Structure 1
Amino acid sequence: MSKAVSWPFLRLYMLTLLYFSANAILNVMIPLRGEALGASSTAIGLIMGAYMLTTMFFRPWAGYIIQKHGPVRVLRLILIVNGLALILYTFTGLGGYLVARILQGVSTAFFSMALQIGIIDALPEKERSQGISFYSLFTYIPGIIGPVLALGLWQAGGMNYFTVLMISIAIVTGCFGYSVKMEKSQETVAPNHPAQEANMFGSFAQLVKNPFLFKCSVLMLVSSIVFGAITAFIPLYAFQVKNSNAGIYLMIQAAVVVIARFTLRKKIPSDGKWHSSYIMGTLLLLASAAGCVSFSIKGGAVFFYAGAVQMGIAQAILYPMLTTYLSFVLPKSDRNVLIGLFIATADLGVSLGGVVMGPVADLTSYSFMYMICALLGAAMIFFVSDRQRRFSR
């Protein structure tokens, strides 16, 4: 049996599912609640984007601190912070939501880095892509039910049920996370050398200097802008599309991510080579998905849900493929911090999807904003093609 699906790793995946279950509900509830309170698309985008923007800033520090203190000790503290953030949603308004999103962002930076670094360090090279795919898969499983549940709570006016649900998720996740054990290799704590800390600061320059990190980070940043715009504004845009439902869209997208990551987990390259045609095909799906969502304002629900399917496939492939590739080509001495920087670009992109695309939607329309997202995805196809020509010279 593959080590990636052994019991210790299944416990980590189950913890991942519990941790991200609240977000699947909040991604729908926050935009709806914000609009009901009179917030503009810009304000809603800022609140939604604050989560990943905070995660981006703390991600590189998380890689260093986890390496210094070990993932288990950090994980237990972070689960307490996450629980406080979830409880904050239950009795505050927009201002409290912003604070809670920031606290969640800090928590997620450390949580995801602890689990992903542990998976990469503990698995054999040939199974890394499977481990990362499974981790990422379990972050999306809550998205199958969460959006529909959130819409049901909203339409029923059940804020009391929302309160009970958030508190329950906080308690169950904290208790389960406290009992999780990690393998010995995951808990190895690196010596605290001043040179190592200085090297962490110098690692930021590698985003530009290291050609492998640069190309993957640019691809992840732009793609994540599209992902973030979908997450932030689909709950509001769906009301403008005939016979469309945001909960069904997000459920389809999440289900496709889960199915694709499970069925394609062995197909994702885990050999340390750059597969440009594979990546270009994924980006084509991304651009087509955003284009379908944009055109659905005229074409209707068929294009709307077709966009969900294509977006799900693109999300299922792109992140684990690029992360696995970097785990091979980055220097081992700085790998944890540099992968943290790469993941931070994904966080920044998701944040910009709300923060930047919100004002675009206010000035134009959601349909026009999603067409811009489609053009960004198409531009990345040419970027990959150009980078491939440069690397082959």
Structure 2
Amino acid sequence: MSGAMSWPFLRLYLLVLLYFSANAILNVIIPLQGESLGASNTTIGLIIGAYLFTTMFFRPWAGQIIQKHGPIKVLRVILIVNGFALILYTITGLGGYLVARMLQGVSTAFFSMALQIGIIDALPEKDRSQGISLYSLFSYIPGIIGPILALGIWQGGMDYFTVVMIAIAITTGVFGYSAKMENGKDQPVSDNNEQGVSMFKAFSQLVKNPFLFKCSVLMLVTSIVFGAITTFIPLYAMQLKNGNAGIYLMLQACTVVFARFTLRKRVPSDGKWHSSFIMGAMLLLAIAAQCVSVSITGGAFFFYAGAILMGIAQAIIYPTLTTYLTFVLPKVNRNVLLGLFIAMADLGVSLGGVIMGPIADFSSYSFMYMICAILGVTMTIFAYDRRKIFVG
């Protein structure tokens, strides 16, 4: 095998799988533990959201620091921080969970940027979309067994939780320390004073750069929907007659993995804006959220149908928008601007818990997911563009 499926890249994908396996468990354990301790949906949303809110804040600097020091040096340091965060979960309560989520957020900002920048720089343009899709695919594979494992841990006792978190921390650190990446092939070499725009000017590009603006808005709003699903499905499923959060999350993750692998060559990798393709993905997102919303009266069929449709939408949206931006963003500050874009995805997932938690508190989970469906329809319209080609 060659290109994005060669052995050096497969090692990186396996590292991604190990790293994100902890979060697949925590996304179920934290809401259940929070509810058992009497926490409101708002509090649970804040704790869950603290992870990616912190990630969002640090991503732009991560891109700049990685470009200066290289992905491997950064990766080895950040795996130590991640290991400490995972162990912290095992010795604290909800207050400690908040601190651990923030530490995890910092490490994830640097980890994911290091891996994605390394993959983008090392692969030729025609293979970029495959590399990004496979990275995303392996980050979702833990979601297949993670939720079921989390429910088993919850029913069996939190002693098992301690063992699993420590095992993941040690295994990820040992495996990650031996990882290798090629140096970027097309990154311009320059010092900090010559390295494109400053960080503050880079933030302004979220509005001034039309390509970054459009992709960031789409990613932000769709991630709000993804975040609301991840945060509150474990609690919403308890209200359904035949609903099971573990099966829902496993089915959604299986769909993401299957769709990312089978559709990886169909994700556009030509620098063109494919309106119909992206609008279709956004419409799937809206239908998926509405299926989850009506499942409170419609039953398990709509609940699990929503999982499949949501999985397909997740499999398509992120790699499509990320690959497009690698073509249209200026190379001199591409890493920083990509960091800003990915930060919008993190912010959206965080807001999915922070904003939608109070809505669920004051109304219901079903109504909150209907709001998510309306957001999906809005993004379907926003994705339309008469221009077929964007030139950077």
- Which moves more between the two structures, 185-194 or 310-319? 185-194
Distance 1:49-1:332 versus aligned 2 partners, 3 A rule: same
Count of aligned residue pairs for this structure pair: 390
Match of 1:116? Answer: 116
Q: What's the offset of the Cα at 1:198?
A: 5.5
Match in the other structure for 1:382: 381
Counterpart-to-counterpart distance in 2, 1:24 and 1:338? 28
Could you report, residue by residue, the CA deviation over 1:110-148 in whole angstroms, capped at 9, with x for unpaired residues?
000000001110000000000000000000000000000
Query: What is the aligned-residue identity percentage?
Result: 76
What does the per-residue CA deviation read over 1:174-200, in whole Å, with 9 as the maximum and x for residues that have no partner?
A: 000001111133798944333438523
Could you tell me whether the CA contact under 8 Å between 2:228 and 2:353 is conserved in 1? yes
Are the counterparts in 1 of residues 119 and 132 from structure 2 also a CA contact under 8 Å? yes
1:22-41 correspondence to structure 2 within 5 Å: 22-41=22-41
Q: Which amino acid aligns with 1:32?
A: L
Paired position in structure 1 for 2:305: 306
Check whether the contact 2:273–2:388 (CA below 8 A) recurs between aligned residues: no
Match of 1:54 in 2: 54
Instruction: Establish whether residue 333 from structure 1 lines up as the match of residue 332 from structure 2.
Output: yes
**Map of 1:267 onto structure 2:** 266
Shift of 1:382: 1.2
Letter in 2 for 1:326: L
Q: Distance in 2 between matches of 1:275 and 1:389?
A: 9
Partners of 1:208 and 1:127 lie apart in 2 by 29
Deviates more, 1:189-198 or 1:273-282: 189-198
Instruction: Indicate the residue corresponding to 2:244 in structure 1.
Output: 245
Matched, 1:136 2:136: yes
Q: TM-score, normalised by structure 2?
A: 0.97
Give the structure 2 partner of residue 74 of structure 1: 74
SS of residue paired to 1:39: coil
2:212 aligned residue: 213
- Alignment partners' CA distance in 1, 2:198 and 2:386: 30
Contact 1:18 1:169 in 2 (8 A): yes
Amino acid at match of 1:106: V
What are the Cα deviations for residues 196-247 of structure 1, in whole angstroms up to 9, with x where unaligned?
3852321111100010000000000000000000000000000011101000
Aligned 8 A contact 1:71 1:187 in 2: no
**Kept after mapping to 2: 8 A contact 1:129/1:320:** yes
- How far, CA to CA, are the matches of 2:139 and 2:8 in structure 1? 17
Name the structure 2 match of 1:224: 223
Report the equivalent of 2:42.
Answer: 42
Tell me the residue number matched to 2:97: 97
Q: Is the 8 A contact 2:187 2:332 kept in 1?
A: no
Gaps of 5+ in 2: none
Q: Answer yes or no: is the 8 Å Cα contact 2:196–2:332 preserved in 1.
A: no
CA contact 1:68–1:190 (8 Å) conserved in 2:
no
In 2, distance between residues paired with 1:390 and 1:184?
33
2:167 aligned partner: 168
Return the offset for 1:294.
Answer: 0.3
Shift of 1:390: 11
State the shift of 1:334 in Å. 1.0
Following TM superposition, by how much is the alpha carbon of 1:253 offset from its aligned partner in structure 2, in angstroms? 0.2
CA contact (8 A) 2:187 2:331 kept: no
Distance between the aligned counterparts of 1:97 and 1:68, measured in 2? 32
Q: Which runs of 5+ in 1 are unaligned?
A: none
Amino acid at match of 2:355: V
Q: Distance in 1 between matches of 2:383 and 2:214?
A: 8
